[in-house]
Amino acid sequence: MKDTIKKLVEAWGPSGFEHHVRALIQAEVQSLADEVRVDPVGNLICRMGSGGLKIMVAAHMDEIGMIVTYQDEAGYLRFDPLGGVFPETLSGNRVRFENGATGVVGHEGRPFRHDVPEISAFFVDVSDGADTNSGVKVGDAAGFFRPYEERGTRIIAKSLDDRIGCAIGIEAMRKLAALGNIPNEVYFVFTVQEEVGVRGARASAFGLAPDLGIALDVTACPDTPRSEGKMAVKLGGGTAIKVYDRGLVVPPAVKNLMVERAEAAGIPYQMEVLTRGSTDASAISLAGAGVPSGCISVPCRFVHTVSETVDMVDVQASVDLLVEIVSKPVQLA
């Protein structure tokens, strides 16, 4: 599974530009699913099984990044963020464009200022010392650039939000294919544009009209010294079963289903109450006349930085819980 994670997190794919990631995932799952297709907005939809409940499992392919809005007289690129880019993480960071050009983010004013500038003060330097054109144009997107690293059971990488959810979906598909005879009609949907407004999930949920929605995503893990916004979630404590976030109050029947399946199978879990942010589950829940929806989350330190950190104990528990849910008949009381 780690090989798949490494491949996915090092891939380039800012919001709205997920095609490289989609191609990687499609190559992994093409032989596992009964049907694989790409919908009009770019979601990769993979169907497994038939009968029972129609279950939509969503993991988003996109990552935060930036889009070029202007190139000034000196050749520096101005940009607008794609998703939740934090100004305090930008200065000195590296980004990569689809054509392979690498840029370094800087900002106007004093180089070591104590106050954090607004996004509008930042620029990307793509100069090469030869006054040649980097090939980057207005409208081109960039993603942050860092390699995959391991530290014991911990994985450190950019874009674990939400390539780790994609990896969990792929691994669950492998296990389901080995089991065979799935009693539900399960749609694994690898979605686009989550970071800019859960747009892909909204479109796919409308088209599929599922009976149950499950998002796979990361959640905040403020278990470091003096961190604000304490939560009952820690790295290595197991998969996180969502109860609440800013976009969704999980129906008790969905939360209880996840808890019961985890306890019956001896899967370590934690309860997630997230006071900031949301996931694809919020979009799925509002599709059509409404869809009961929940989320299986992976605790993640340093979310929306180039050093997002997860623990493989939590990742494996998330795979196990997802398989426990969709591989058996489901009744929502």
Q: What is the DSSP string of 213-266?
A: EEEEEEEE---STT-SS--S--TTS-EEEEEEETTEE--HHHHHHHHHHHHHHT
Block residue for tokens 């980057």: 136
Structure tokens belonging to residue 177: 């294919």
- Pairing between strand 54-60 and 185-191? parallel
Q: What is the DSSP string of 145-191?
A: ----EEETTEEEETTHHHHHHHHHHHHHHHHHHHH---SSEEEEEEE
Structure tokens belonging to residue 53: 């409940």
- Pairing between strand 54-60 and 212-220? parallel
- C-alpha closest to that of 213 among 222, 202, 224: 202
Q: How far apart are CA 305 and CA 314, in angstroms?
A: 20
Question: Side chain identity at 84, as an amino acid letter?
Answer: G
Residue 332 phi, psi (nearest 5) = -100, 105
Structure tokens belonging to residue 303: 């979310």
Q: How far apart are CA 85 and CA 14, in angstroms?
A: 12
Which residues in 86-108 are b (16+ Cβ under 10 Å) and which e? eeebbbebebbbbeebebebbbe
How many Cβ atoms are within 10 Å of 110's Cβ, its own excluded?
A: 9
Catalytic residue among 18, 171, 185, 194: 194
- Residue 194 falls in the annotated catalytic set: yes
Q: How far apart are CA 148 and CA 156, in angstroms?
A: 6
Question: Side chain identity at 2, as an amino acid letter?
Answer: K
Q: Which residues are catalytic?
A: 194
